[in-house]
Chains A and B, each alone.
Chain A
Amino acid sequence: MSLFKKKKPLSEYSTGELILFRFGKNKLAIIGVAMLSFVTIMIIIAPIIRPYNMVIKQDIIHKLNGPSMAHIFGTDELGRDLLARILYGGRISLFCSLAIIGIAFVAGALIGGTAGFFGGKVDTILMRFVDMLMSVPSALLAMAIITALGNGVWKLVMALAIGQIPRFARMVRSSVLTLRNMEYVEAAKCFGSSSMQIILKHILPNGIGPIVVSATLTLGSVILSISSMGYLGLGVASPTPEWGTIISENKVNIQYFPYLGIIPGICIMLTVMSINFIGDGLRDAFDPKSKK
């Protein structure tokens, strides 16, 4: 399965097209893209499938009904439609976790990249700041930040993103430290490239692979930490649905009504898996030596 038919010889493609081309040849990556797009589209068109009031409308008579035509995913202990809750919950779970990873990735890359590239005092100051963040357990840190800023989805995103910055900063810094001493970086300097050009053209493309993969692997744990914040009443509070919250509010009934855990669990799993596939595909696509 290849996204791009070879219309012209390989030599006439630009680097960007070649990366897309290699990405397109990777079957798992394409499956990942398909799965993630499916989930995203469903979440976006949720109002067409289920009106929002079904998320909170309680119907005690039909509580804990298994999957049926009326309720494809069944209902929870308050008789709320699980499909509606998952669709609208996905808005928070998916978009917030992507935003958290995105913010942490960019901030971490900036901090770690600057520290690694310039070294010396800049490095010391930035990395001590990162150490400071790291010395506080990330859940505690997020709680402190939310308490200080107040409740709200965006505040939750900021709080959790800050907790993820250190891992990205450390990772980017160490990879920049090795890359900046490569001879091609030295050569680029000799040909008149400025620091910015060197970072964008030489350090970023060579160092990004493993970091992207690690970012996608972090995503699963971020979805869960959003829910654990919700469980503590911080960030997203009940009855606003969110995948992690859905699982935790149903945990007493999971033993006898397993679909309540399995269905949202599968949603989380598929999303995390599809993003991991995409991450792997991206890493291979960035590396011209990959055979896939």
Chain B
Amino acid sequence: MAKLLEIKDLNVRYHTDDSIVYAVNNLSLSLEHGEKLGLVGETGAGKTTLALSILQLLPNKVGKIESGSIKYDGEELIGQGEGYMLGLRGRRISMIFQDPMTSLNPTQTVGDQVLEVLRLHFPQLTKEEKDAKVDEILQLVGIPASRKNEYPHQFSGGMKQRVVIAMALIAEPELLLADEPTTALDVTIQAQIMELMRRLKDKFNTAVILITHDLGVVAEFCDKVSVVYAGRVVEHGTVEQIFEAKEKHPYTMGLINCIPDLSKDEERLKPIPGRMVDPRIIPTGCCFADRCPHCMEICKKQPPEIHDLDGHLIMCHLFDAENGGKA
């Protein structure tokens, strides 16, 4: 079976008035049917840009896909007409947004908003069938059907996110892009929402790309992880490989060190020093060189290659052959 999603050498630029922002650079990624991929990285790493590129919803005239290919179920998405994309969005690829407070229309009842997605993609169903489906999906996400005529402001944050999930899944898409779905929620609700997503994912066999900066959520939820830095995938592997293998990209190492470990008595966290490289310039060497504790001469001169260690991909000079592969 063809891969569900295959992104090759994707380059996305934002053209502002006085500069060009290199948001996504030569990024490649692939996803099998039903797979759960975590996309981890700090703010501004290009994670959301990537999701919007898949849906072809980059801000008009500003964001542009310069080159590369996005194949969905064997079909190229770049260059497809708006009509084709309208049929795809919401039906075959859905997206969940970070803030449930603002991602629902305040003037429509939640039931109507869920129904709307169904109306868009299944106009042939009768009204009764649609209503039954809305009730069913609301039940699934844990909202009693009796509340479907209430407005978003009558719901708590967690409940709103459930509504958003219901909207995203009602058309039973093959791929769900979850853009930090739990960032705006408190920890207990976060756990509930992740549990809900896991359950629904299994039920519909939806592939999920979970965009987050929470490594804990990734470790629990995902099969595979891609670590994104400055618009590039610097490390990719299974959850075990990323968290347990000795070979790690120094950036991933830094990310993991940022998580407070309750079992150790430490005074301070260890943040990664410095800031992310200015996205308006293309560094000549490795994009992480300035902040890397293992930075070598070559790192500043030449961009690193991707090293494949049994499917565990690392983009770093530390694993070059002349450095003994270190592995």
Contact = CB atoms under 8 A, between A and B. Distances in A.
B54 to A, nearest CB: 10
A189 B88 CA distance: 11
User: Interface residues of A toward B: which range?
Assistant: 20 to 34
Nearest to B99: A183
Nearest to A209: B107
Contact of A191 (B102, B107, B108, B167): B167
Interface of A: 9-13, 15, 18, 119-120, 182-184, 186-194, 197, 201-202, 205-206, 286-289
A192 B90 contact: yes
A9 B146 CA distance: 10
Given A189-B57, A191-B120, A192-B88, A205 B108 contact: yes
Contacts of B87: 192
Nearest to B121: A192
Interface in B72-101: 82, 86-91, 94-95, 97, 99
A81 to B, nearest CB: 49
Interface string B110-134: 0010001100110000000000000
Nearest to A203: B105
A181 to B, nearest CB: 10
A289 B86 contact: no
B75 to A, nearest CB: 17
Contact of A187 (B97, B106, B112): B97
Contacts of A287: 107
Nearest to A287: B107
Contacts, number: 92
Given A191-B168, A286-B107, 18 more contacts: A9-B146, A11-B148, A12-B149, A13-B149, A15-B112, A18-B109, A182-B102, A183-B99, A184-B102, A184-B103, A190-B94, A190-B95, A193-B90, A197-B120, A202-B105, A206-B106, A206-B107, A289-B153
B55 interface: yes
Contact of A206 (B95, B105, B168): B105
A288 B97 contact: no
A119 B95 CA distance: 25
Contacts of A184: 102-106
Contacts of A12: 149
A18 B111 CA distance: 13
A188 B147 CA distance: 21
B243 interface: no
Given A190-B89, A190-B95, A191-B120, A120 B61 contact: yes
